[in-house]
Amino acid sequence: MPVNLEVPARETLRPVAGVDIGTAMAGLRKANRRDVLVMRLPPGTAAAGVFTTNRFCAAPVQVCREHLAASGGAIRALLVNTGCANAGTGARGLADARASCDEVARLLGCEPAQVLPFSTGVILEHLPMQRLLAGIETAVTGLGSGDWLDAAQAIMTTDTLPKAASREVDVGGRRVAVTGVAKGAGMIRPNMATMLGCVATDAALPQALLARWVREAADVSFNRVTVDGDTSTNDSFVLLASGASAAVVADDAAPGAAPLKAAIVEVAQQLAQAIVRDGEGATKFIAITVERAASPAEAAAVAYAIAHSPLVKTAFFASDPNLGRILAAIGYAGIADLDVDGIDLYLDDVHVATRGGRHPAYREEDGQRVMKQAEIGIRVVLGRGTAATTVWTCDLSHDYVSINADYRS
């Protein structure tokens, strides 16, 4: 059961001028579900991406990096499949990823290096190429002006709901759309990238600016969520600027640059949080804020130690204010000179711990009240400096075990 997350209403997802979407049911892993997406982009589109830091990165991720470099970001199509990650597949996996780009390029009349491939699903298995190539042809035949909900549905794996978000902003007097989709529910601890996210705008941006914005947006969105601490082999987040709206943003100081960037960050954060809300087996949505850390890295280390602790996560599942487990996680987060006497811990508005121990006024029933909520804030004040960060995560339930024990069956 996703936490406060619904299927986005189709009419709230603004089409992005110039971007066409086509999907197919190719039967890659399961019958009768969309599993192939082709997104066609107009000439003049700029694209930039960030990708997994996992050393076992998937073949499509390697090809994405090559094609972005070779084309200078002048991308004309995305190809996404679900059901097979094409990771841990060696030389044959690379050849398969390249062959699928070749087929998209042939059908759309562009260079193979202008196609970015993305795969998610089971690792260590080869792509069923015949079915995939047939699916590509179907998807290209069906290309129509952008229905982003179709796109969101076509990239789902263990997701229970499609994930999409959209904003409209004014750039130099022109209305510009910012719309994105994402997928992911397990193997989620993006590290410099995310499971699979794509945000597009019809504003025109130079590729260098886009390349910086995609990193900055990832750092405050997809790079701040975790479900199970498992960094995937396939994490990818791309930002696309079709330019079809004729609104131009040349640099950070241009009119409309600030609201456009804010809209991109908002869409990315909404998508990233949607991944956590639909985290495998999630029943709670938990925001962990660490304040007054000595450095951003230290703040993140403490936040992730809490977010990854199976004991903290099962306590949230049980609505059990066994909050000493949070202190234990702070204590093993790797800060060698941490003085626990300077630490305060809050659960929403409830002051739980101070000076290394239980707050004198803390009452179990106050902790219990907050633990029963579907949305919970943990705030840790380290008292060491001025850095802060927020990480979003979910609890660990029986359903997480069921989903991942049954995933391939």
Residues classed as catalytic: 194
Residue with tokens 């066609």: 40
CB 116, min distance to a copy of itself, A: 21
Q: Does 160 bind a copy of itself (CB under 8 A)?
A: no
Paired sense of beta strands 36-40 and 20-24, if any: antiparallel
Question: By the 8 A CB rule, do 170 and 145 touch?
Answer: no
Q: Binding pattern to a copy of itself, positions 168-187, x when CB under 8 A?
A: ------------------xx
Q: Does 315 bind a copy of itself (CB under 8 A)?
A: yes
Q: Does 226 bind a copy of itself (CB under 8 A)?
A: no
Name residue 23's beta-bridge partners.
37
Give the separation between CA 67 and CA 69, rounded to whole angstroms.
5
In the set 3, 78, 85, 204, which binds a copy of itself (CB under 8 A)?
A: 85
Cβ neighbours for 190, distance < 8 A, ≥ 6 positions apart: 52, 218, 222, 223, 225, 226, 231, 232, 235, 237
Residue closer to a copy of itself, measured from CB, 131 or 308? 308
Helix axes 207-219, 257-277, angle to 10 degrees: 40
Q: Does 310 bind a copy of itself (CB under 8 A)?
A: yes
Give the separation between CA 55 and CA 53, rounded to whole angstroms.
6
CB 238, min distance to a copy of itself, A: 21
Q: Does 368 bind a copy of itself (CB under 8 A)?
A: no
CA angle 381, 215, 239 (to 5 degrees): 130
CB 310, min distance to a copy of itself, A: 4
Site for a copy of itself in 343-362 (CB under 8 A): 352-353, 355-358
Binding part of the chain for a copy of itself, among 28-36, 209-217, 253-261, 391-399 by CB under 8 A, reads: 391-399
Query: SS3 of 212, please?
Result: helix
List of residues contacting a copy of itself (CB under 8 A): 53-57, 85, 87-93, 122-126, 186-187, 189, 191, 228-233, 308-311, 314-315, 317-318, 320, 322-325, 327-332, 335-336, 338, 340-341, 352-353, 355-358, 396-398, 400-402, 404-409
